[in-house]
Amino acid sequence: MPTRYDCIVVGAGLSGLVAARNLQRAGHRVLVLEAQERLGGRMVGKTLPSGQWIDLGGQWVGPTQDRFLALLDEYGIRRFPFPTAGKKVLVFDGKRYEFDGFFEGFPEGEPPSVSPEEWQDAMAAWARFEALAKTLAPGHPRRDAHTQSLDRQTFAQWIDANTTTAFGHWYFAYMVRTVGFLGPAEPGQVSLLHVLWGHVCASQAEYPEAELIHGGAGQVPAKLAAELGQNLRLGEPVLRITQAEDSLEVETTKGRFMAQYAVVAMPPHLAGRIVYEPPLPPLRAQLTQRMPMGCCAKVLVAYDRPFWRNLGLAGLAIGNCPWIELCADSSDPETGVGVIAAFIVGDRYGRWQALGEGLDPAERRRQRQEAVLGDLASYFSPEALSPVFYEEADWPSHPWIGGGYAAFMPPGVWTSYGEALTAPVGRIYWAGTEMAERWPGFFDGAVRTGEAAAAAIHALLI
Ligand SMILES: Cc1cc2nc3c(=O)[nH]c(=O)nc-3n(C[C@H](O)[C@H](O)[C@H](O)COP(=O)(O)OP(=O)(O)OC[C@H]3O[C@@H](n4cnc5c(N)ncnc54)[C@H](O)[C@@H]3O)c2cc1C
């Protein structure tokens, strides 16, 4: 007789691994099925010959992300402060400013010396944005007249109506593209309601980038998987889930498995690729067609030392350069190597991906690298042109992820289909950072949804 599992978890990203581990710890028979030949989904790392690690997916953690912090503490994984000492850099419309402040989603400290009119424009709009965010009720947005009026608008419409200068306009567009607010998305693609909600439940004002992890976040999946032993099958995409009254059957490219329950732990658009029998309820099926992944490539560039510190710079730079709108020092003080993580987001990603189209892959890569290093030189100094290591994590090209950092809601989706986001369908439960009410889009949100799915199924099994 084939094993009949208590629960099959589909997807070995952070949310799926947490769900499976918790169920197994509670004494249930669990099987994890993962499409890729590796663990971790958007949580993936690599160690360089120098011993320095890099994270190709997520890397930062913040002080109020308590479920993810608890996981790190449980496995004895050490953290260190995100290095921010020194001047930050803004390059705006070709002019370079060094300043002591910070505005990753909210302004703090000394502002860059753009004109007072431009700064005031951005700050006045920021105050209106915060006031509007305060009108939302806690939790996932529910449909009412107020949320519907917000959900009808794109964030671009709000920006157009609330800023008058080029800098004010860019300030908000930059935030929705690069930091927080989920996505990243171009302002014209995302619902105003979604951006406001992201600001409430995953606020940059809570410093989600306060710390980095010694050895990288990419080490976490293997720790979770070690507890699962043989109950994890890699390279086995799930194709179909068939529910019966008292059980379900999960069909992969290599076999069929029976269980009482399933947790599908992945972004909604990937969950929508699986065939369900009976078919998903129409609202859920529609939702999975309407939550695109953000558009982001992450580039890791290593130098033999963090040269920017000798220039008095923090290694944190933002601006409307052609390719890189945000880059940050990601060097582990225990290795001495300098590492910059740089993000190519939104429409910039499409232009960057198309560089050298039609040429051979090596030349295309050379052109993409030249583009990235050119921007880093604009932010820091020409020393940026001579890295010892360069790697691209091209998430939109990834067949089993499809983008990053996370999925977002275009206009109208929250208020028409949002109720289907987390509702179980028969014996199928949903996990994944996109489903979280707190810290969606982050590791912490993934942990929370994995824990919640495991708790719900445990309650049914005992
Ligand atoms: C570039 C980048 C930077 C980020 N930065 C940060 C950060 O600094 N801090 C932070 O907190 N978060 C960050 N994030 C977000 C964080 O990585 C994610 O929120 C988290 O890892 C998501 O975990 P998950 O389990 O929800 O989904 P995923 O990691 O996407 O896992 C889903 C899994 O399901 C598998 N799968 C898909 N389809 C099937 C199928 N049919 N059958 C079987 N398996 C399937 C996939 O292969 C994948 O392994 C970043 C993400 C990216 C991409």
Q: Is 87 in the pocket of ligand 1 (CB under 6 A)?
A: no
CATH no. for residue 393? 3.90.660.10
Closest CA to 238 of 431, 387, 32, 409: 32
> For residue 428, what pLDDT is reported?
98
Closest CA to 8 of 37, 29, 36, 35: 29
Quote the domain boundaries for residue 312: 209-215+295-397
Q: Ligand 1 centroid to 443 CA: how many Å?
A: 8
> For residue 183, what pLDDT is reported?
75
Residue 87 falls within a domain, yes or no?
no
Same domain, 248 and 325: no
Same domain, 120 and 191: yes
Atom number of ligand 1 nearest to Cα 441: 19
Q: Ligand 1 centroid to 10 CA: how many Å?
A: 13
Q: Is 43 in the pocket of ligand 1 (CB under 6 A)?
A: yes
Tokens 């609202």: give the residue: 283
Ligand 1, atom 13, residue with closest C-alpha = 58
Choose which residue among 18, 240, 266, 408 to substitute to test ligand 1 binding: the one with the highest number of ligand atoms within 8 A of its C-beta. 266
Strand partners, 264: 10, 430
pTM of the prediction?
0.97
Domain count for the chain, please give it: 3
Q: Is 35 in the pocket of ligand 1 (CB under 6 A)?
A: yes
Q: Could you tell me if residue 441 is left (phi over 0), alpha (psi between -120 and 50 degrees) or otherwise beta?
A: left
Q: Is 86 in the pocket of ligand 1 (CB under 6 A)?
A: no
Strand partners, 89: 98, 317
> For residue 50, what pLDDT is reported?
79
Residue 341 falls within a domain, yes or no?
yes
Closest CA to 355 of 394, 390, 382, 383: 394
Residue 259 falls within a domain, yes or no?
yes
Q: Which two tokens stand for residue 162?
A: 């609330």
Mark 328-339 as b/e (b = at least 16 C-beta within 10 Å). bbbbbeebebbb
Q: Which two tokens stand for residue 408?
A: 């977002």
Q: Is 450 in the pocket of ligand 1 (CB under 6 A)?
A: no
Atom number of ligand 1 nearest to Cα 271: 38
* Single-letter code of the amino acid located at 80: F
Final residue of a structural domain among 379, 397, 415: 397
DSSP helix/strand/coil, 387: coil
CATH no. for residue 124? 1.10.405.10
Angle between helices 116-133 and 192-201 (to 10 degrees): 80
DSSP helix/strand/coil, 85: coil
> For residue 181, what pLDDT is reported?
61
Choose which residue among 82, 256, 405, 437 to substitute to test ligand 1 binding: the one with the highest number of ligand atoms within 8 A of its C-beta. 405
DSSP 288: T
> Cβ contacts of residue 226 below 8 Å, gap of 6+?
none
Q: Is 439 in the pocket of ligand 1 (CB under 6 A)?
A: no
Q: Is 104 in the pocket of ligand 1 (CB under 6 A)?
A: no
Closest CA to 320 of 167, 162, 163: 167
Same domain, 389 and 303: yes
Q: Ligand 1 centroid to 14 CA: how many Å?
A: 7
Angstrom distance (rounded) from CA 164 to CA 415: 30
Same domain, 369 and 275: no
CATH no. for residue 226? 3.50.50.60
What residues of the chain score a pLDDT lower than 50? none
Q: What is the pLDDT of residues 74-131, one digit of tens each?
A: 999 999 999 999 999 999 999 999 999 877 667 788 889 999 999 999 999 999 999 9
Neighbours of 272 (CB within 10 A): 19
Q: Could you write out the DSSP letters of every residue in 291-332?
A: -PBP-EEEEEEEESS-GGGGGTEEEEEEE--SS-SEEEE---
Contact 330, 340 (CB under 8 A): yes
Same domain, 346 and 390: yes
Residue 185 falls within a domain, yes or no?
yes
Neighbours of 199 (CB within 10 A): 24
